Amino acid sequence: MGTDGREVFPHRGGVTAADRRRVLGHGPATVWFTGLSGSGKSTLAFAVEEALTAAGVAVYVLDGDNVREGLCADLGFAPADRTENIRRIGEVAALFHDAGLITLASFISPYRADRDRVRALHPDGGFVEVHVDTPLQVCEDRDVKGLYARARAGELPGFSGVSAPYEAPEAPELRLDTGRTSLAACVAAVLDHLHATGVLADRHLAAR
């Protein structure tokens, strides 16, 4: 029996984090982009993915809508469902981190406690919280999916920033406003942070 009474017995292999870094040429990280709908989280995450891939880095984006098509297709948007959604993604991100990858997670993730729980799954420094701190009015003016109009009309109850709370990070590793800062500059800020913390080597930024 496992420690919680279930028949679960985790097995640890002999491949170490150092082994994975030697093979991949870089360290692991989970970069967690949080912010309101329309803040630019997904656009930024996929742009960072392109830049890292071009630099020879093993990277993958976990995006809110994409994940809800499969892994979390059974979940709605009630508070408990939102918490479970982030719990599942956090566990996946932690596995990817253990595999030595850089994971770019793009989720509104409105509750601070949920994000802190994901951080706790990672070793110190392994979780990079990026608050895409684009003002609500800018997000609403963009309304790229037409969601704010529907939320204002009462068609989307529990919509973060309108009819449900969004708990902004208190001390994120990075705070970026895509309404004021260009996409290229935001990408550079993420890459520079990963380089400064030792995840990326000099050569990964050489061609930038």
- Among all residues, which ones are annotated catalytic? 109
Q: Is 136 exposed, middle or buried (0-12, 13-18, 19+ CB in 10 A)?
A: middle
Give the C-alpha separation, 22 to 20, whole Å.
5
Beta partners for 129? 32
Give the C-alpha separation, 101 to 80, whole Å.
29
Cα 103 to Cα 59, 135, 151, distances in angstroms: 6, 25, 30
Question: Parallel, antiparallel, or unpaired: how do β-strands 102-106 and 174-176 relate?
Answer: unpaired
Contacts of 80-83 spanning 24+ positions with Cβ under 8 A: 82/109, 82/110, 82/111, 82/114, 83/111, 83/114
Residue that the structure tokens 């508070």 belong to: 79
Work out the angle between the directed axes of helices 183-196 and 41-54 (0-180°, nearest 10): 60
Provide the residue type at 93 as one letter.
A
| Residue 61 three-state SS | strand
Look up residue 61 and give its two tokens.
Answer: 């984006």
